[in-house]
Every structure is written in C-alpha cells, then in structure tokens.
C-alpha cells in the first residue's frame, strides 16, 4: 500500500488543564503534522491515551480528526485489544469509510502463545472490511509476536498488509523484511531506529516525535527511502537527544511537553500518567528553542 509508505504519526489527545479534551489544540496538531509533510495520520493509537478515554470521548476524537483532516491525508484507526470477540464485533459494525487501514496491537496482559496470536489476528483479518496493520510492541504487551508468526499471517491473509514493528530490535525487523511477502510493509514503531530500518528495506515509521517535528522527521524518512544516507543521518543525530528525552518519563508526557514548548497544546496527561518533571521539561524546552533557531538559520 503506497499510502502507508513514509511517516505516519500516532496523534496525541490534547487535554485542557481540567483534563477535558482540547479540540482546538487537536485541530492545531493535525494541521501542524499535515503542513509539516507527514504522509498519514494514526488515530487512537497508544499515544492517544485511549486507555483513559471513555468510549464516547474516543468517538468524539475520531470524528474530530476526520473533520479536521478534510480528506487531505490517509487515516489509520487503532482497533486493538485483548478481547478478540469484542474486536470482531466492532469490526463488523463500525463505519470505516474514512479510514485507509486499521492498526491492531498484539493482545496484551493475556500473554497468548504464538498460535494464540495467530488465531487472534486470523479472526480480525476475517472480520475487517479494510486492510490490517499488525502492531508488535512487546514492551507494552509482555509478549513478542515473532517473525515466523507475522510471515505466516502475511501469507495467509491478503488484507494483512503491514506491521508496525516496535520490538526495538533491528535484527528482528530485518528478518521480517527478508522473509515477508514482497508487498508486505515493515513499518518501524521506534523513532530512534526508524532510519536504520528504512535503510534495511522498511517502508517508514509510525512515529511519536514526527508530530512534534513533522518537517524534519518526515524529510529524514524520505531521504532514507531514497537512500540519501548522509543527509538522513544528519537529521537523525540532530533529533536523537530529543527522541530519548520524549520517552524518558513515559509516552505521551514527553511529546506533550514539546507541544507546550511550541505553543500548540498544554502538557496535560491523565492519571496514571503524570507530566514530565521540571528538569526534563527544561531540557525539552531548550531543545525546541534550539530547533527553531536552526530552522530560522
């Protein structure tokens, strides 16, 4: 799927200081990402704090992003969880007309076997009316979807078209690139190693930092896709400190501090997450100032 090549961003849900959703800030973030040159937007990923949104709030955010996007970029919707039957029911009843694909995380907490993971995604693939992007993030799910399982799913179901691979393991990503079907997309789920994965044959990234620095990060990925290695790594090394910082005290607390420094949104997160501490906030603020100065120069 050509529409999923390049940089997608996993949008945050901005909150006001009273913890209510800030829709004006959400519109600013959508426009900032689009104007910065990203290729697609991901709605209701982990970065959206969907675990602490009510179902009604989720629907409001989804509808708002569709409205703000105005058809400018492809949209991907997060539809994942650890209750397979519930997900199948949602896939059969939801209107997906505004979306290019779904992003579905490997089941968390239950810790299924590889066969359990396969059967879970088999049920999702059979129920989904649009293409499916698998999502492997062992740091959150406590189980690793192994390359053999991914390749089996990719071969068995035509509508399983990609994986967001966030194991933090370049070798595992390379195994996927090597062994998956020709048109299957291996998309990095880790900002720090997105460029190496692209250079190894990956299709791009679903990024957190990409919404804070959309121009720089999406251009870096395009340079990587075009094998302009030295130019791409110049941006990689410029952004690397900030990539570390935004995950230092949890996601999306870090990227929300970047938005506060940019004047786009408050840094509010919902419990059990808390805002970054003063020391990290100061470091992120300084990086944002430096990046603005570099752009102006």
Give the annotated binding-site residues for pyruvate: 47, 206
Which of 291, 288, 227, 226 lies closest to 261, judged by CA?
288
Backbone angles phi, psi at 43, to 5 degrees: -105, 135
Binding residues: 47, 206
Q: What distance in Å separates the CA atoms of residue 163 and residue 148, rounded to the nearest whole number? A: 13
CB neighbour burial string for 170-205, b if at least 16 within 10 angstroms, e if fewer: bebbbbbbeebeeebbbbbbbbebbbbbbbbebbbb
- Reported residue count of the chain is 297
Query: Which is catalytic among the residues 58, 108, 109, 164?
Result: 164
Query: Which is catalytic among the residues 40, 118, 135, 260?
Result: 135
Alpha-carbon separation of residue 108 from 43, 91, 153, 256 (angstroms) = 19, 19, 18, 25
164 is catalytic: yes
135 is catalytic: yes
The total of other beta-carbon atoms located within 10 Å of residue 146's CB is 16
Residues tagged active-site: 135, 164
């Amino acid at each position: 799927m050509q529409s999923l090549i390049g940089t997608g961003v996993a949008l945050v849900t901005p909150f006001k200081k009273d913890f209510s959703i800030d829709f004006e800030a959400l519109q600013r973030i959508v426009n900032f990402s689009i104007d910065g040159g990203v290729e697609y937007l991901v709605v209701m990923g982990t970065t959206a704090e969907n675990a602490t949104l009510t179902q009604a709030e989720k629907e409001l955010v989804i509808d708002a992003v569709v409205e703000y996007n105005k058809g400018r970029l492809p949209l991907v919707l997060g539809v994942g969880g650890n209750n397979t039957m519930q997900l199948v029911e949602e896939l059969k009843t939801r209107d997906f007309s505004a979306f290019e694909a779904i992003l579905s995380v490997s089941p968390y907490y239950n810790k299924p076997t590889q066969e359990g993971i396969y059967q879970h995604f088999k049920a999702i693939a059979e129920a989904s009316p649009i293409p499916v992007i698998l999502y492997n993030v062992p740091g959150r799910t406590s189980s690793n979807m192994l390359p053999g399982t991914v390749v089996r799913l990719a071969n068995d179901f035509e509508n399983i078209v990609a994986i967001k691979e966030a194991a933090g393991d370049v070798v595992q990503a390379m195994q996927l690139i090597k062994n998956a079907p020709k048109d299957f997309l291996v998309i990095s789920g880790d900002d720090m190693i997105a460029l190496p994965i692209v250079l190894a044959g990956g299709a791009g990234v679903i990024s957190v930092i990409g919404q804070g620095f959309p121009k720089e990060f999406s251009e870096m990925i395009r340079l990587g896709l075009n094998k302009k290695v030295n130019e791409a790594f110049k941006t990689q090394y410029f952004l690397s400190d900030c990539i570390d910082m935004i995950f230092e005290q949890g996601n999306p607390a870090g990227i929300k501090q970047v938005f506060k420094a940019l004047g786009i949104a408050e840094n509010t997160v919902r419990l059990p997450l808390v805002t970054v501490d003063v020391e990290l906030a100061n470091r992120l603020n300084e990086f944002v100032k430096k990046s603005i100065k570099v752009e102006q120069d």
